[in-house]
Structure 1
Amino acid sequence: MATRRRRVSVFLTGFPGFLGSALVDRLLDRTDRVDCLVQSAHRDEAERRAAEIAGTDWADRIRLHEGDLTDARVGLADDRYERLADDADEVFHLAAVYDLGVERELARRVNVEGTERVLDFTERADARLQYVSTCYVSGRYGGVFDEAMLREGQSFTNHYEETKYLAEVAVRDRMADGLAATVYRPAITVGDSRTGETQKYDGPYYLIRFLLRQPRLAVFPRLRGATTTELNVVPRDYVVDAIDALSRTDRAVGTTYNLCDPHPPTVADVRSILAAATDRRVLSVPTSQSLLTRVLSVERVRRWTGVDPAVVPYFTHPTRYVCPNARRDLAGTGVSPPAFGAYARTLVEYVRDHPDVPSDAMV
């Protein structure tokens, strides 16, 4: 696979977020500098992470530009916007509101309108776009969802899914008009498979913390279809490794990649894997999705379990994800997703050692 030339500058959104922080570290070995769009509220955290990545002289390699995706010209002054566009050879757009309970207006402004503004910047820069979407643009599509699919008449579980879908539609439309871009769709992304490190406890972490709060014999709800419904989970290091490897090649231009587990566990498998990783015996209690959602919506129950009712629909998610493009173009790179069972205990140990990691989205 051909490797792209060394760049003057990469423009990146989503720093100091979960994926953005790890990706900046990779980008520094192939570009003169990385220009990061950072919200003012996260400036201090961005400086701390930049120093961790690049040392005390980080400002020579990582430039922080305070702005906002919801503002015109992503919140940058005209002269800075033009200067950055003149320098940028590549744009990585990772910033989004990842919150299953996000209000529609906020999700629309950040995920949809923000993406449109990044697309405008990319076209002004005549740059290549690396866009991070999500497998869940599928909504609740019933069946196999491959990398060519997008507009399938699907319904959506929440405003996060819907607005990420609309954002990818906007990206695909610009690609049809000639924009050089690559789309990456991670599945449910958890911490590093080697260290467990993460910035947010959501998704499978709700199950981990629920089990850890219980005695050795733990109660666990069982929904219909648990033995057939897949829960597609990948660790952060796989997602970052894949984006890093694919974004270096010309072959990836115009391509969409489902960054998912080609052999995912079922919900029942995840329950068994996490029971073993938390050293719990599980007593499965049959229930319905509607009843479980109602019970978890009671504030007292939600505080005790630590489980957000917004995750319940994913235990009956009707979609299966396949990734032929990713498997083809990552062949020979050594990059592939490890099985969930191979690193589940690492995730659990990180939760034990770091109980105060938040579940709130970075907004």
Structure 2
Amino acid sequence: MTPTSKPGPVVLLTGASGVVGQAVLERLTDRTVVCLTHSKPVTGPRVVNVRGDLTRPYFGLDRAAYEDLADRVDAVVHCAAITGFSVDPDLTNELNVRGSSAVLAFARRASAPLQHVSTAFVSRQDLAREGCGGARPEIYLDSKRTAERAVLDSGAAANIIRPSVVIGDTVTGRISQFQGLHAIAGAILRGALPMLPLPPETRIDFVPQDLVAEVIVGLVRAGTTGGEYWVTGGEAAPTAGRIVELALELGRRFGPEPHAPRFVSADMVERLIRPVFIESLPKAQQRRFDDMLAMTALFRTAEPFRSDYPLVPGVRRPGTGDLEDAFTASMLHYARVKGLVRPREVAA
């Protein structure tokens, strides 16, 4: 961008190299997208990279550059966040709370509508009482709740977007970084997960990244604000039993019959399995186990999430079959990247 021109609508995007941000970037081809990147630049036909840091004053830019950017931006999409459950609490709050406040302040200075990406799991108020070992999902969720409250209390022109677990593209399964659900399903696929601490009828709520991006981009183009949008599987989310079946079906394609995990209670894990088996494992394996336990704890709720697809122009609500197909595509991509696919499967 030059100081004397403004080439059509301009969107500031944070987290452009992340799962949701990358999918959003691919769909905003009719806009100039300024990507605020911390380290690695991103590419695209109308992409402008600005190196910055959400946790520093003025994004780490000098005051004049910050003000110039604010004068040019027409909309803000905030996707950047720390989503891990075993990350230092100070780092999580630094980006998720302080960084979100900085983006909110920028959007208000620019008089630009803000699309603030949160998570559907902010509704899990009881998660702090769940046993997850060294993983602390409640720290992540508390940070997202605090950031949401700041946006809602500010009175700014903004929407809150709350996706559930995000998996890969509906068709290709492609994703910039594998998520916790990939690791769990991948272990089932390989026959390497002996137990799953969930009732088999529990809904496993996830959505493909392109669907989340369609909602966000639809809201950017519509220009409407003041809404809270739940982007979830909702009542269509497959059950844990069905997810295990799908993962086992894929496993049979790639090798010997995988061993199906046994469904157990979280209480059994804490009383019997952790003290006898887990505490003797190396720290890295304990951490992976705790992350798996934290991920499954997210799903242990009786009520399905709300879904708001009819409120967004041009976005269709997915059915159970759509979500199962997207899960299969995502795990096929996972299997290829992880080298689990035999040569004849790659050719197919």
| TM surpasses 0.5 | yes
> Which segments of 5 or more consecutive residues in structure 1 lack a partner in the other structure?
1-5, 55-60, 143-155, 357-363
Q: Which residue of the partner structure matches residue 186 of structure 2? A: 209
**What is the alpha-carbon distance in structure 2 between the residues aligned to residue 199 and residue 235 of structure 1?**
12
Q: Which residue of the partner structure matches residue 171 of structure 1? A: 151
* DSSP-derived class of the 2:77 partner: strand
**Residue 284 (structure 1) aligned to one of 239, 246, 262:** 262
**Residue 292 (structure 2) aligned to one of 284, 302, 311:** 311
Conserved 8 A contact 2:92-2:143: yes
Indicate the percent of aligned positions where both proteins have the same amino acid.
Answer: 26
Q: Which residue of the partner structure matches residue 169 of structure 2? A: 192
* DSSP-derived class of the 2:194 partner: strand
Cα shift readout 1:24-83 (whole Å, capped 9, x = no counterpart) = 222221x2x1111111x323xx2xxx0xx32xxxxxx21111110111111111111000
Change in 2 beyond 3 A, CA 1:322/1:286: closer
| AA matched with 2:21 | G
Q: Which residue of the partner structure matches residue 3 of structure 1? A: none
Q: Deviation at 1:301? A: 8.8
Change in 2 beyond 3 A, CA 1:102/1:283: closer
Q: What is the correspondence of 1:1-363 to structure 2 with a 5 Å cutoff?
A: 7-29=8-30, 31=31, 33-39=32-38, 41-43=39-41, 46=42, 50=43, 53-54=44-45, 61-141=46-126, 157-174=137-154, 177=155, 179-214=156-191, 220-223=194-197, 226-250=199-223, 252-262=224-234, 263-279=236-252, 280=258, 282-284=260-262, 286=264, 288-290=268-270, 291=272, 295-296=277-278, 299-300=281-282, 303=285, 307-316=288-297, 317-319=299-301, 320-324=303-307, 326-330=308-312, 333-337=314-318, 339=320, 340-355=323-338
Conserved 8 A contact 1:277-1:344: no
**What is the alpha-carbon distance in structure 1 between the residues aligned to residue 238 and residue 274 of structure 2?**
23
Change in 2 beyond 3 A, CA 1:140/1:199: same
Change in 2 beyond 3 A, CA 1:292/1:266: farther
**What is the alpha-carbon distance in structure 2 between the residues aligned to residue 116 and residue 342 of structure 1?**
37
Conserved 8 A contact 1:296-1:307: no
> Which segments of 5 or more consecutive residues in structure 2 lack a partner in the other structure?
1-6, 128-135, 253-257, 340-348
Change in 2 beyond 3 A, CA 1:352/1:228: closer
Change in 2 beyond 3 A, CA 1:190/1:292: farther
Conserved 8 A contact 2:74-2:110: yes
**What is the alpha-carbon distance in structure 2 between the residues aligned to residue 306 and residue 272 of structure 1?**
26
Change in 2 beyond 3 A, CA 1:138/1:123: same
| AA matched with 1:269 | R
**TM-score under structure 1 length normalisation:** 0.77
Q: Which residue of the partner structure matches residue 150 of structure 1? A: none
Q: Deviation at 1:297? A: 6.0
* DSSP-derived class of the 1:158 partner: helix
Conserved 8 A contact 2:215-2:315: no
Change in 2 beyond 3 A, CA 1:248/1:285: closer
Q: Which residue of the partner structure matches residue 359 of structure 1? A: none
Change in 2 beyond 3 A, CA 1:298/1:116: farther
Q: Which residue of the partner structure matches residue 149 of structure 1? A: none
**What is the alpha-carbon distance in structure 2 between the residues aligned to residue 162 and residue 298 of structure 1?**
31
Q: Which residue of the partner structure matches residue 57 of structure 1? A: none
**What is the alpha-carbon distance in structure 1 between the residues aligned to residue 78 and residue 34 of structure 2?**
12
**TM-score under structure 2 length normalisation:** 0.81
Conserved 8 A contact 1:220-1:283: yes
Conserved 8 A contact 2:11-2:77: yes
Aligned length: 311
Q: Deviation at 1:338? A: 5.0
RMSD: 2.6
**What is the alpha-carbon distance in structure 2 between the residues aligned to residue 88 and residue 301 of structure 1?**
46
